[in-house]
Amino acid sequence: MQHTPLYQAHVDLGARMVDFGGWSMPISYGSQISEHHTVRRGAGVFDVSHMTILDFKGTEVGSFLRRVLANDVSKLQSEGQALYSCMLREDGGILDDLIVYWFGGERFRIISNAATCTKDLAWFREVASGTAVEIDQRKDLAMLAVQGPRAREIVAKSILHSKKCLALGPFFSTQIGNYMLARTGYTGEDGFEVILPAKNVCGFWEALLKHGVVPCGLGSRDTLRLEAGLNLYGADMDESVSPLRCGLKWTVALGEERDFIGRQALYHELKAGLKDKQVGLILNGKGVLRAGYSVRTVFGSGTLTSGSYSPTLGCSIAFARVPVQSERACEVEIRGRWHDARIVKPPFVRHGKIEVDMLQGETA
Amino acid sequence: MSEIPGQLKFTRDHEWVREHDDGTVEVGITDHAQTALGDLVFIELPDTGGSFTAHDACCVVESVKAASDVYCPLAGTIVNTNEILIEKPELVNDDPYGEGWLFRLRPDLPGELEGLLDDKNYERLLAEDNE
């Protein structure tokens, strides 16, 4: 089992540690629901040092990334700008989802998932072979996500004493000394992701806690991302589906001038017509929706890809893959009984506010 | 360290059983179990009048993380359930041995209760699980 530099700090705080793709990570430090609310209302910090950090450089790095990623890095117009993308197989299946940052010139950084690290690295090296592209896995770095309406102010004013990082726009990053600060996250709230030398992470963590930032486990990270309408690799998408079927068409730059890996497959899939789509569900009554449960609509059946209890809505929500015509009412099978649910467009919650109509189910 | 009260009996599946003077028993999940599950958000109680044998799944507790079955510790008939939990499942987290009780059962076999673990044996079981 792999440990991040903060492992002992988590254990000392009484965290419940669980296996996350071969890493022993905190799921919660007490109440997962209270950690969730903290991020929606104040500021919380997640240790996400298990994620894969890869640096790319070389004269052919631009053309390499335009080939290997489904989104187009030529959209990155300013230094420090970030772009969300999928990485596809030739048949359009999703190998991973990631964020790519442009550091200017021929230098990029990619943050991808922890469990897919070995696979991603092998794929990048295979596609890059014979080209002037250097790939460096940054095991010397750690990563914290500081999230919530108060997060940026605490990090900028109390810890880094930097006005520069408060001026950072959404989906931009900047370098402050040997810290990289990005206004990105996976919670639906404002905040920073901080990438810093592993040897500095314990001190930075301590400083955050001293200034009232609450340690949050990966359990609340999951309910936050679900409310925010953000997919989880391995649950809502994997190598068996294309981005077109899991709500990520907006991340694919299908322009004809660029031949990225998987483009042909997506082109044919679109031409043939999509049969299903990803939607959000809200359970009308009591109970909890879970990944794998069956859903039925008047247009046919589908499956839940993620599901949990939404602390902000106070009821259960899910993502489901359903026939493309599906709308409004559906039913979900929970332990042999069918329960009424309704189809909505995610996100459920953004910036602390409920984004879906909570009364729709009762009146329909 | 989780709380393990004396006077109660325990199962290997982390249920507790409290004997009452009228011959019925009260059943809940242990402090260890509620800690492991995390925040509970939904509880599906058994129907009153339902009869089960020992180890039958008779109740479901759902935390944010997962759904878990609760097994009937003894053969018997459900005589009452803690319906407050439908609105307040968090009582199981807050007070697992008190207000967070799940159901009351009239056992079929008077001797079966004696076969369950006492507090010392349950504590030993938790210690072994930890190793």
Tell me: the pLDDT tens digits for A23-82?
Answer: 999 999 999 999 999 999 999 999 999 999 999 999 999 999 999 999 999 999 999 999
**Do A296 and A308 share a domain, yes or no?**
yes
Q: Please indicate whether, in this complex, the C-beta atoms of B64 and A335 are within 8 angstroms of each other.
A: no
What is the separation of C-alpha A352 from the centre of its chain, rounded to a whole number of angstroms?
Answer: 18
Give the nearest partner residue to B86 out of A27, A32, A286, using CB atoms.
A286
What pLDDT, on a 0 to 100 scale, did the predictor assign at position A220? 98
- List the single residue in B with minimal CA-CA distance to A32: B39
For residue B39, the chain A residues in CB contact (below 8 A) are 31-33
CA distance A357 to A364: 12
Inter-chain CB proximity A32 and B66 less than 8 Å: no
pLDDT on residue A165: 87
Range of the domain at A179: 1-226+243-272
My answer on whether omega of the bond before B46 falls inside 30° of 0, hence cis, is no
Decide: helix, strand or coil at residue A207: helix
- Tell if the CB–CB gap between B65 and A288 is shorter than 8 Å: no
Domain boundaries, chain B: 9-109
Please tell me the distance from the alpha carbon of residue B70 to that of residue B67, in angstroms, as a whole number. 10
B89 Cα to chain A: minimum distance (Å): 11
pLDDT digits over A175-218, tens only?
A: 999 999 999 999 999 999 999 999 999 999 999 999 999 999 99
**Considering the domain boundaries, does residue A235 fall inside one?**
no
- Give domain status of residue A236, yes or no: no
A326-361 tens-digit pLDDT:
999 999 999 999 999 999 999 999 999 999 988 754
pLDDT at A364 over 60: no
Do residues A146 and A201 both lie within one domain? yes
A220, A84: one domain: yes
A260 in a structural domain: yes
Look at strands A44-47 and A214-215 and give their pairing: parallel
Q: What is the CATH number of domain B9-109?
A: 2.40.50.100
Q: What global pTM score does this model have?
A: 0.95
Residue A287 Cα, gap to closest chain B Cα (Å): 6
For the stretch A121-155, pLDDT in tens is: 999 999 999 999 999 999 999 999 999 999 999 99
Interface residue A37 vs chain B (CB under 8 A): no
Q: What is the CATH number of the domain that holds A169?
A: 3.30.1360.120
Residue A310 and residue A247 share a domain: no
| A261-297 per-position pLDDT tens digit | 999 999 999 999 999 999 999 999 999 999 999 999 9
Average pLDDT over residues B43-62: 97
Two tokens, residue A91: 């048949």
DSSP output for A25-94: EEEESS-HHHHHHHHHHS-EEEE-TTSEEEEEESTTHHHHHHHH-SS-GGG--STTBEEEEEEE-TTS-E
Q: Are residues A58 and A149 in the same domain?
A: yes
> How many cross-chain Cβ pairs, A to B, lie less than 8 Å apart?
42
Chain B hits for A287, Cβ within 8 Å: 42, 44, 62
Beta strands A179-182 and A191-197: pairing type? antiparallel
How many separate domains does chain A show? 2
**A56 and A107 part of one domain:** yes
Co-location of A265 and A291 in the same domain? no
Cross-chain Cβ contact B38/A290 below 8 Å: no
* Residues A29 and A92 occupy one common structural domain: yes
A282 found inside a domain: yes
Q: Work out the pLDDT band at A363, boundaries 50, 70, 90.
A: very low
* Residues A77, A172 share a domain: yes
**What value does the mean pLDDT of chain B take?**
95
pLDDT of residue B131: 67
Tokens of A33: 């629901």
Instruction: Determine what percent of chain A is predicted with pLDDT higher than 70.
Output: 99
Answer yes or no: do A13 and A96 share one domain: yes
A-chain CB neighbours of B41 within 8 Å are 33, 288, 309, 316
Tell me whether residues A288 and B67 touch, CB distance under 8 A: yes
The answer on A31 and A161 residing in a single domain is yes
> Do B42 and A288 make contact, defined as CB atoms within 8 angstroms?
yes
pLDDT at position A362:
45
* Three-class DSSP category at A137: strand
Give the strand pairing for B57-63 and B40-44: antiparallel
Identify the CATH number of the domain in which residue A296 sits. 2.40.30.110
Digit-coded pLDDT (tens) for B83-130: 999 999 999 999 999 999 999 999 999 889 999 999 999 999 999 987
Check CB contact under 8 Å for A309 and B66: no
Q: Is residue A232 part of a domain?
A: no
SS3 label, residue B85: helix
Contact state of A309 with B86 under an 8 Å Cβ cutoff: no
Same domain, A249 and A281: no
